[in-house]
Structure 1
Amino acid sequence: MTAPHIPVLLAPLLRAVAPVTGTWLDGTFGAGGYARGLLEAGADLVIGVDRDPAVVAMADAWRAPYGDRLRLVEGTFSDMDRLAGQMLDGVVLDLGVSSMQLDQADRGFSFMRDGPLDMRMGGDVPSAADLLNTADEEVIADVLYHYGEERASRRIAKAIVAARPLTRTAQLAEIVSGCLPRPKPGQSHPATRSFQAIRIWVNDEFGQLVAGLSAAERALKPGGQLAVVSFHSLEDRIVKRFMQARSDQGGGGNRYAPVQDVLQPGFTLPFRRAIGPDPDELSGNPRARSALLRVGIRTEAPAGTVDARALAMPRLPGKERG
């Protein structure tokens, strides 16, 4: 049976981490594209972790040929070192919302499909409607600006509060679109940045990412590989700075944190730059256009810690969430 979605940057990822052997963890299992790629490339075992309880049932349609080489666990990748139950030869993370989730209108992720204003990837957390209908206008504006880089954040937040209660994705998309100029041909939908920001807020995605990168460092064996695919600049910036901070490239400092001496680097970086899609992938999968892959190789040093401020993680001023 064919995969329901095309995993972005799968071929470059498999080339970058070859040879694939031993035990790998796919921390964002989703439709299982990366896990299958790893298994077919030679992994002895892939542990698939996802916070969405629906993915286990969906995998039942294709997992049988892999037998006990594929093990699925419900949870968040920020807890991967505990969930894995063993040291790992590799970790793969595909950040952000999956195509599978976007395609399900009842999940509330997409501004292109009307559905309940939910956006939860899993777990017992408030929905997007819960947060938008109760948060102060200032908080909503900060979310849109810091998590979505939306320059019209104040105007949109005011319109959201005036329209409450919000219950549907189409309602939110219409409110946001009404605050912004009509897009020119080829430009993204006006609600793109706002939906991204609210989804990140609901699921604490930046906090999960920082915790997950540290969990991967704890879980990887010496020589184990961490491969992370990101889809927008805020995610990639966190991944890049984590790998720099935990490698021998981490001492430069920045405006968020002072210069640091990395005496025992936790990773080496085999590639100087992030890896992007090739022309063939772009022609077959437009979703890949913004994707970037970064890879780190675990050293023998003990797992270290990184201050989130050094990673320039976007934070809401004076607020606990995010």
Structure 2
Amino acid sequence: MTSSGSSTSSGAGGEGRPEAAEGPRHVPVMLQRCLDLLGPALAEPGAVVVDATLGLGGHSEALLSTFPAARLVGIDRDPAALKLSAERLAPFGDRATLVHAVYDEIPEVLARLGIARVQGVLMDLGVSSMQLDEADRGFAYAQDAPLDMRMDQTRGISAAEVLNTYSHGDLARILKVYGEERFAGKIASAVLREREKEPFTTSARLVELVRNSIPAAARRTGGNPAKRTFQALRIEVNGELAVLDRAVPGALDALAVGGRIVVMSYQSLEDRLVKQYFAVGARNSAPPDLPVVPEEHMPWLKLLTRGAELPSEEELAENRRAAPARLRAAQRVRETQRVREA
């Protein structure tokens, strides 16, 4: 197995990329469904599958075990995740190539490896269990921790820096847009007021501020009232939606004809963006009055799921973190203009 480094500046998005703990390892969300969807494209010798959000390597391990003729390229921006997944995937030797990069760099990573096209791409967006469960990462609002939230802690600004330096308008904007927070303005005002007294450094103080900024009636439903603020900060710190907006067309461009892509997202902003890209590729783009549709206007994607698929009740019973997961899949059915240029 080989590993190479690459600069990273932004990361995946999502409500979480959760994996349920079973002993020392984690079981990935909707694993069998991912294998079933990607399988038809990975059976032939020489098939390459990209795990664009490697995490702890659970999906990758299953892909390499289930499809012995396939080669895997695993990408992650988190050096700690790469180290752990390298240990997990070591038995597969040079069938697995792990790369330190952000997943919007798929075209560049493949070019460096001399791979023209791939047969499969898997994107499991958001925050891994490892990141959620390590207190010093600051992703979880249920425990007091430094307000970091960077998926790659070697670069970029932290959540604390966002809270302590952004203007009221910028704070309110990211809370409203990325967190879909109704009380974004009130929370932003409280942050500016409190940071004048003392800069924000840990999560417990922010959780209390958010709770006190939201009317009691609104706190009675929807779980922890801080979850939307934490989601918004994480998306901002890691540039998650901008990365996804570049990553999906890059991944689709990398797919060979017959290749398949599976994307799991964990919040509505991500799922909506994935849905839009898939819908564009799956529709007839010819004017409605044409008697014969030219090939260049025919769909070049085939949708493999009807809408977004959800985890089964059995999986939810075993893994509560799987609840927000939304899975979409598509197959490339013909060549077309590069998606990034369309």
SS in 1 for 2:61: helix
How far apart, CA to CA, are the structure 2 residues paired with 1:3 and 1:129? Answer: 32
Select the residue among 191, 201, 214 that pairs with 1:167.
201
Counterpart residue type for residue 66 of structure 2: A
2:58 equivalent to 1:27 = no
How far apart, CA to CA, are the structure 2 residues paired with 1:179 and 1:70? Answer: 48
Match of 1:255 in 2: none
Contact 2:285 2:298 in 1 (8 A): no
Cα gap change, 1:2 to 1:299, in 2 (>3 Å): farther
Match of 2:63 in 1: 38
Match of 2:38 in 1: 17
Contact 2:31 2:59 in 1 (8 A): yes
Alignment of 1:234-273 (within 5 A): 234-248=269-283, 263=297, 265-273=299-307
Shift of 1:13: 1.5
Shift of 1:2: 6.2
Select the residue among 189, 195, 206 that pairs with 2:224.
189
Counterpart residue type for residue 11 of structure 1: Q
Overall identity of the aligned pairs, in %:
38
Cα gap change, 1:28 to 1:303, in 2 (>3 Å): farther
Q: Which has the higher contact order (CA 8 A, sep 6+)?
A: 2
Alignment of 1:1-322 (within 5 A): 4-19=25-40, 20-21=42-43, 22-42=47-67, 44-84=70-110, 85=113, 86=115, 87-122=117-152, 124-164=155-195, 165-181=199-215, 183-184=219-220, 187-248=222-283, 263=297, 265-305=299-339
Contact 2:309 2:327 in 1 (8 A): yes
How far apart, CA to CA, are the structure 1 residues paired with 2:277 and 2:296? Answer: 12
Match of 2:3 in 1: none
Cα RMSD for the two superposed structures: 2.3
Contact 1:92 1:228 in 2 (8 A): yes
How far apart, CA to CA, are the structure 1 residues paired with 2:132 and 2:242? Answer: 22
How far apart, CA to CA, are the structure 1 residues paired with 2:24 and 2:59? Answer: 10
The number of equivalent residue pairs is 299
Q: Deviations over 1:110-130 (max 9, x none)?
A: 111221111111152111111
Contact 1:118 1:127 in 2 (8 A): yes
Shift of 1:303: 4.2
SS in 1 for 2:305: coil
TM-score normalized by the length of structure 1: 0.86
SS in 2 for 1:275: coil
How far apart, CA to CA, are the structure 2 residues paired with 1:180 and 1:284? Answer: 32
Contact 1:6 1:285 in 2 (8 A): no
Q: Deviations over 1:66-118 (max 9, x none)?
A: 11111110001101011123121100001111111011111111111221111
Q: After the TM superposition, which segments of 4 or more aligned residues of structure 1 sit over 4 Å from their partners? A: 249-252
Shift of 1:157: 0.5
Unpaired stretches in structure 2, ≥5 consecutive residues: 1-21, 288-294
Counterpart residue type for residue 55 of structure 2: G
266-275 or 118-127, which deviates more:
266-275
How far apart, CA to CA, are the structure 2 residues paired with 1:179 and 1:237? Answer: 29
Shift of 1:251: 8.1
SS in 2 for 1:235: helix
